[in-house]
Structures are given as C-alpha cells and as structure tokens.
Amino acid sequence: MAPVRTTGAIVAAISFSMAAFSYFLFFKMNTSTLPFNNKKKRRKGVVDAIGNTPLIRINSLSEATGCEILGKCEFLNPGGSVKDRVAVKIIEEALASGDLVPGGVVTEGSAGSTAISLATVAPAYGCKCHVVIPDDAAIEKAQIIEAVGATVERVRPVSITHKDHFVNIARRRAVEANELAAKKAKASQVDGNGLDRMNGCTIDQEKENSDFLSHCNGGFFADQFENLANFRAHYEGTGPEIWEQTSGCLDAFVAAAGTGGTVAGVSKFLQEKNPNIKCFLIDPPGSGLFNKVTRGVMYTKEEAEGRRLKNPFDTITEGIGINRVTKNFMLANLDGAFRGTDKEAVEMSRFLLRNDGLFLGSSSAMNCVGAFRVAKTLGPGHTIVTILCDSGMRHLSKFYDATYLFKYGLTPTANGLEFMK
Ligand SMILES: Cc1ncc(COP(=O)(O)O)c(C=O)c1O
C-alpha cells in the first residue's frame, strides 16, 4: 500500500503546483497589463465609466511626421467628451463642501460639452441640471441636453461683461434657486406643512420664467471657467493617465484652451513628473491666448482691426479660444503656442476621417493641427500627445455641413496634408 500512497501524494502535489502556477500566471497576466484590464473590468455605474480612456496612435500623422502622435480618446466617455471628467469633479467637490445638496440644481453657462456632461452625470448624484446656452451654438447640443433631462435656456450671445451673457444668467439662476429654497424652508417653518404659498402668491408664479427652480433643493453654479475643480479633474485624472499610458516616455503635449482646465491640469502634472516635457497651446482665430502665451498680452488681430463688432464670427471651432485669462488657464505651464486656422481644422478633420477612420469634432481637429505643428517643430523621433475632445457627431450642423462651410469659404479641398504650411 505504501507505493500507492506515495504515488497519490505525488499526483496531489503535482496537481496543486500546477493549479498554483496557473493561478499565478493568470494573476500576473492580469495585473501586468493593468490599464488594458482596467478597461475590461466591470465599472460601477456611469460615473465609474468616465476616464481611463484609450490613448491611440494617430497613424497617418505619425507616418507623415516621423513622430509618434498620440490622441487621448475623450470622445469615448459616456457623455461623449472630455468634459465628463470636469462635471464629475465639480459636482463631487460641491457635494463634499455642502454648496450643493442632493435634490439641488447645478446651473451652467456652456456652449455645449460641459453642459451635456453635467446633464448626464447630475442624476447619478440625485441632482438636476439647468443650462444657459448661446443661441448660435450648434442646435444638436441643446437638443441633447434637453433629451438627457436638463432644462435649457437659449439666449442671444452678448459680451461677457453684459449682465445677460449666458454665463452670468447661469450664475443668477443658481442664486435664484437658493433664494427660493430658503423661502420654501422658511414658509414650511411658519406653516409647518411646507406650503407653496407666500405673500398670497405661489412660488411658481413668483419665478414664472424659471419653472425648474421651484422643484429643486437649492442651486449651485458650476462655473467651469473659474472653478478649479476643472483643473483638478485633469491634474488628478487626464495627466496621470497620459503619464501611465506612455510609461512616462513623451516629449510634448499640445491642446487648445476654452476654460484652460485641460491644458493647465495636464501640463502642470506632466511637467512636475518631468520638466523636459514641452507643453504647447494651439489657438484658434479670434482668441487672445496665443499672444498672451508668446508676448504676455491679451490681444487679437480681429480686435485690432475692429472687425469683431462688424463680424462676430471668430472661429468655427466650438469650445476653444477665449479673450480673457481664466483662473484655470493661469495654472498652465506652457513652453509656447501655435496658431491654427479654421480651414486647417476643417481639412484636418477630413484627412483623419479618410486616413484613420477618426470622426472628430472641431476642437479635436484643431488639436491635431497643433500636434502636427509641434512634430514639425521638434523634428522626427518625438512622442507627442494631444486630446481628442469629442466626436464629429456633435458638429453636424456646422463643422460637417457643406452649406455652412461653403458660406464661410471653408469647403475642404485637400487630398493630403498640403493644407498644413
Ligand atoms: C469640445 C470641447 N473641446 C475642448 C474644449 C476646451 O477644453 P478646456 O475647457 O479644458 O480648455 C472644450 C471646452 O468647453 C470643449 O467643449
């Protein structure tokens, strides 16, 4: 019986070792390629599905320049853009500070992406969203915001210094929501039953143009331009992801700025990791940031020529370009800036569509113009990262509309990259 027992023990030992070895192999394979497997992991709800976006090689531009040009696919976020990260950070910080409470309304003045992202994630936090938008923004953006359940006010575009600029109206709506919530609380204390009547009239009558206000638990103005939660979303999220996905092997980062949150958060993080990483701005027509970065003064050619008042059309690229320095932009670490034209952005979008199957929005196309310029400036052999902010789906009525492009002399004609001078 002894040999049988010995054989059994050997078989058991071998089986155990094989099982342990397989388990080790399985575990090792899964952890050694963490970003890849993170993507496959089950995520807890829509908020957990934001971020950890793929970083892809843009083959056509990489081959044309001899550089590795990489694009961070932010269009793959659930709300369709880079702004999902910002929406989550703004709401979470506001809830943590008590400035926003569940059942409250987040208000924002946004030409689109941030509003869509806030509207998308607000319900996950038990909150509502109200958006004030200029009526010259692409119509599909307002349609999406309403479709996902937010309320939308479309207003005439006026100067930021005007009290009825869409950002100022959004700020006011949050104040009104807070006033209304305070009055409601007071009324319920007096009446003891949460009555909706004060001074003989209903709260709804009092704020007749702001129906949403009467159904919420106070308001919070997201303020993406000045709220540094925006910067932190990129400093704590986008930047570290780019660092990990490139294993720290990158030479440059380039992006356009709207609020400046992306370029500031990413540039600050990357340069803290490695001060040799060069960070650049690509600036669209009508924006004063190029001059701010290169000469230290806010100045645009359009303003100098007095064209702005006669023709308010500055750029076809939505969400980027600005004529003031926001608190978010102030935190950017930039080594230089490039200019991009509308024609280059349109042509670049069609080039990437034909050659890479990338259907990108206008700011992403401008970022790729920037990546190409950086590649040409640094020369072959460098790795350059940019942001693919949103997809072309959001830009059908302008950037991808033949009639609109023709009207502004922007009809694409190039076969290759000859439009990049
Ligand atoms: C589509 C799109 N791309 C890019 C940007 C610019 O990013 P940031 O605001 O972080 O500068 C925005 C800003 O609103 C945007 O909406």
CA 234 to ligand 1: nearest atom:
10
Task: Please tell me the CATH code under which domain 49-80+228-408 is placed.
Answer: 3.40.50.1100
254 lines ligand 1 (CB under 6 A): no
pLDDT over 70 at 240, yes or no: yes
387 lines ligand 1 (CB under 6 A): no
What mean pLDDT do residues 279-295 have?
96
What mean pLDDT do residues 196-225 have?
63
Band of the pLDDT at 206, cuts 50, 70, 90?
very low
Helices 113-121 and 139-147, packing angle to 10 deg: 10
Query: Which residue has the CA at smallest separation from atom 16 of ligand 1?
Result: 319
363 lines ligand 1 (CB under 6 A): yes
The alpha carbon of 397 is separated from its chain's Cα centroid by a whole number of angstroms, namely: 20
- Asked if 95 and 125 touch (Cβ cutoff 8 Å), the reply is yes
Query: Which residue has the CA at smallest separation from atom 5 of ligand 1?
Result: 319
Determine the Cα–Cα distance for residues 342 and 348; give it in Å rounded to an integer: 10
What percentage of the chain reaches a pLDDT higher than 70?
80
Q: Which of 111-125, 217-231, 400-414 is predicted with the least confidence, judged by mean pLDDT?
A: 111-125
Span 316-367, pLDDT tens digits: 998 899 989 999 999 999 999 999 999 999 999 999 999 999 999 999 999 9
pLDDT at 135: 86
pLDDT over 50 at 2, yes or no: no
What mean pLDDT do residues 225-242 have?
98
pLDDT at 280: 98
pLDDT at 232: 98
What mean pLDDT do residues 264-291 have?
97
Looking at per-residue confidence, does 2 or 66 come out higher? 66
What mean pLDDT do residues 81-99 have?
98
Å from CA of 421 to ligand 1 middle:
25
- Asked if 323 and 288 touch (Cβ cutoff 8 Å), the reply is yes
Å from CA of 7 to ligand 1 middle:
69
What mean pLDDT do residues 268-294 have?
97
Give SS3 for 174: helix
Q: Which of 237, 214, 222, 228 is nearest to 122 (CA)?
A: 222
Query: Where are the domain boundaries for CATH 3.40.50.1100 in the chain?
Result: 49-80+228-408, 101-186+208-217
For 133, half-sphere exposure in the C-beta direction (CA atoms, 13 angstrom radius) is: 28
Determine the Cα–Cα distance for residues 421 and 416; give it in Å rounded to an integer: 12
Strand partners, 55: 72
- Looking at domain 101-186+208-217, which CATH architecture does it have? 3-Layer(aba) Sandwich (3.40)
What mean pLDDT do residues 368-373 have?
98
Span 10-29, pLDDT tens digits: 555 555 555 544 444 444 44
- Asked if 166 and 109 touch (Cβ cutoff 8 Å), the reply is yes
pLDDT at 230: 98
pLDDT at 96: 98
Q: In sequence order, which residues have a C-beta less than 8 Å from that of residue 393 and are 6 or more positions away?
A: 80, 140, 359
Cα-based angle 265, 97, 115 (whole degrees, multiple of 5): 55
Span 101-135, pLDDT tens digits: 999 999 999 868 999 999 999 999 999 999 998 88
DSSP per residue, 137-169: S-HHHHHHHHHTT-EEEEE----TTSTTSHHHH
What mean pLDDT do residues 282-307 have?
82
Q: What is the mean pLDDT of the chain?
A: 86
> Phi and psi dihedrals of 29, rounded to 5?
-60, -35
Determine the Cα–Cα distance for residues 261 and 85; give it in Å rounded to an integer: 11
Determine the Cα–Cα distance for residues 416 and 357; give it in Å rounded to an integer: 15
257 lines ligand 1 (CB under 6 A): yes
pLDDT over 90 at 368, yes or no: yes
CA 225 to ligand 1: nearest atom:
9
Å from CA of 182 to ligand 1 middle:
34
Query: Which tokens sit at 344?
Result: 């280059």
pTM, 2 dp: 0.85
pLDDT over 80 at 190, yes or no: no
320 lines ligand 1 (CB under 6 A): yes
Band of the pLDDT at 68, cuts 50, 70, 90?
very high
Query: Which residue has the CA at smallest separation from atom 14 of ligand 1?
Result: 319
Instruction: Compute CA distances 328 → 25, 211, 234, 261, 336, whole Å.
Output: 45, 32, 11, 5, 17
What mean pLDDT do residues 302-319 have?
61
pLDDT at 384: 99
113 lines ligand 1 (CB under 6 A): yes
Span 142-188, pLDDT tens digits: 889 999 999 999 999 888 789 999 999 999 999 999 998 888 877 77
77 lines ligand 1 (CB under 6 A): no
Query: Which residue has the CA at smallest separation from atom 2 of ligand 1?
Result: 319
258 lines ligand 1 (CB under 6 A): yes
For 184, half-sphere exposure in the C-beta direction (CA atoms, 13 angstrom radius) is: 19
Query: Which tokens sit at 67?
Result: 């550089």
Determine the Cα–Cα distance for residues 340 and 331; give it in Å rounded to an integer: 23
